[in-house]
Structure 1
Amino acid sequence: MARKKKGRDISGWLVIDKPAGPTSTAVVNKVKWALNANKAGHAGTLDPAATGVLAVALGEATKTVPYITDALKAYEFTVRLGQATNTDDAEGEVIAESGLRPSDAGIAEALHGFVGEVMQVPPKFSAVKVDGERAYALARGGEDVTLEARPLWVESLLLTDRPDADHAVLEMVCGKGGYVRSIARDLGHKLGCHGHVLSLRRVWSGPFEAAAGVTLDRVEALARTPELDALLLPVEAGLCDIPEVRATEAGAVRLRNGNPGMVIASGLDYGAECWASFDGKPLAVGDYRGGELHPARVFNL
């Protein structure tokens, strides 16, 4: 007999404005405890030193995590020019220095080469796996880690401020799997002066914005209260980038059982990905085929 999970069957999204310090996993565990939820996950790791949007999915919302993970994200970060570190951020040891400092125009010009479909080598201190081991574990053990370059879509990368000669503030909008630390490292290399990330903030991720996020202090203050429950966004908040169709009453019954069901839709191509609702609740995500939704994921709400 399967053991019953501890906690409540509660579903939705809680958008956290993560502070510097805790890991993404620690934030998820805090939210899970505060809501007494039996299931939780997040849509995209932030390094401990980073701040900003960490979208935590509860219950059935975890089935929509891939749609947020795959969505565009915006980061604001400060690059410390003139120094390279072994971790590509301020947490590491300085391994190279340069007295050269590029002009604002030089930085802006160099940024053009980082926009579009680029190939990026992750930092050696990252969670990428090498022969089954995390790269950061191998690097901390003193091994010389070699990582393969991987594609990244960069929508935009702009210089937004230059506080002084040693620092440049950038804003990047990119797709899934981007490492801001690699951008800072590679930009410093291209400019001939070295560089690493001094500070990093995820401003938004898909539909979720840091400005509307909940602080961890507030989560702790409202723990196990209806007031915290009221801050949850609905499951379908994670589906804003794909179209909604409406299930018929008979279609809803079939979709709940994991079968193709009739839906009401307009303007969708055959095979288009969409999600179906009935009586204001999401039922399933799947492909639209000739008046029916063929479900890939079914929500138990």
Structure 2
Amino acid sequence: MSQSKSNKREVSGWVVLNKPYDMTSTQAVGKVRWLFGAKKAGHAGTLDPLATGILPIALGEATKTVPAVQDGEKVYRFTIKWGEETTTDDTEGEVIARSDVRPDAATIVAALPRFTGTILQTPPAFSAIKVDGERAYDLARAGEAVELAPREVHIGALSLVSHDGASSALEMRCEKGTYVRALARDLARHLGSFGHVTKLHRALVGPFDEARAVTIEQLEAAADRDALLLPVSAGLALLPEIRLTPDQAQTIRHGNPVLLTGARAPIELETAWASCAGAAVALGRVEMGQFKPQRVIVA
């Protein structure tokens, strides 16, 4: 899928990809970048190869807005198989513990508040977290013992969708840094059993949901792929918007602040984005009534 530099182009925007099963996030970004012939691409939040669903891919200037999307809420739908814990906390790993306990639906529902709100969670050993400069999953695959420190994560909502005795389907709304596989592991242990994730689907990342998603097949078949590209501003939809005049936008594009006027002009905002005629101009903050650009977006 390699392309010469001369064949790549300046194209900016978001592709909300419905990532297929058994494709890494890096492979997905490479495929989309090749299909669009884009010079620059990145993604807003890794999705496991065995997971499906929303993988927002930024092209060109949209890569500057990736943190804004990553900071948004996520929604996951997943299935836990009861009675077996694996090395990876999903189907890819080897079974390391077994239990005959199969929690019933009422017991599962009663336990869910324990895993809602701000909780401490120990990430899976097979994760992308760095330990002394190395990815945890690389160390784990090499047979090294990986000990990761518990960290605070926030789970806004957790519900049981269905239950058949041997497995359960759940839905979770959470903030970044939350591991579904760790939740499944910990919930099963709390219920006196073991468990691992057999299915995982991400239905929402920040402003991007399934209604806006496209598949690799749709991208490959499209006569005009650029028509499937969302604007850079789509990734900023959940942040406060500062609307600029053309003169103000020109000032911002030179990296200079502008004074905001009008009765509704904000005085202080930790994070905001500036627009002109609907197009994104910059990410920045508002201090003492001035919008100060931090990342300027080239038109």
Q: Report the TM-score range of the alignment, normalised by the length of the smaller protein.
A: over 0.9
Q: Are the aligned partners of 1:251 and 1:263 in contact in 2 as well (CA < 8 Å)?
A: no
Relative to the length of structure 1, the TM-score reads: 0.94
Secondary structure, aligned partner of 1:230: helix
Pick the aligned partner of 2:234 from 233, 237, 251: 237
Q: Are the aligned partners of 1:84 and 1:95 in contact in 2 as well (CA < 8 Å)?
A: yes
Alignment of 1:71-90 (within 5 A): 71-90=72-91
Q: Are the aligned partners of 1:247 and 1:262 in contact in 2 as well (CA < 8 Å)?
A: no
Q: Would you say how many aligned residue pairs link Structure 1 and Structure 2?
A: 295
Alignment of 1:101-180 (within 5 A): 101-162=102-163, 164-180=164-180
Matches of 1:271 and 1:221 in 2, distance apart? 43
Cα deviation for residue 40 of structure 1 reads: 0.5
Matches of 1:37 and 1:271 in 2, distance apart? 33
What is residue 91 of structure 1 aligned with on the other side? 92
Aligned CA-pair RMSD: 1.6
Cα deviation for residue 155 of structure 1 reads: 0.2
Gaps of 5+ in 2: none
Change (3 A) 1:217 1:271: closer
After superposition, the C-alpha distances for 1:111-135 in whole angstroms (9 at most, x for unaligned) are: 1111111111111111111111111
Judge which range, 282-291 or 61-70, deviates more: 282-291
Change (3 A) 1:26 1:124: same
Cα deviation for residue 208 of structure 1 reads: 0.8
Matches of 2:276 and 2:85 in 1, distance apart? 54
Relative to the length of structure 2, the TM-score reads: 0.94
Amino acid at match of 1:190: H
> Do residues 259 (structure 1) and 256 (structure 2) align?
yes
Matches of 1:291 and 1:247 in 2, distance apart? 13
Change (3 A) 1:263 1:247: farther
Gaps of 5+ in 1: none
Secondary structure, aligned partner of 1:55: strand
Cα deviation for residue 267 of structure 1 reads: 5.5
Alignment identity in percent? 50
Runs of 4 or more, structure 1, over 4 Å off, are none
Q: Are the aligned partners of 1:247 and 1:261 in contact in 2 as well (CA < 8 Å)?
A: no
What is residue 216 of structure 2 aligned with on the other side? 216
Matches of 2:98 and 2:246 in 1, distance apart? 67
Change (3 A) 1:193 1:186: same
Amino acid at match of 2:240: P
What is residue 61 of structure 1 aligned with on the other side? 62
Cα deviation for residue 262 of structure 1 reads: 3.4
After superposition, the C-alpha distances for 1:237-274 in whole angstroms (9 at most, x for unaligned) are: 11111111122333222101001023456252424422
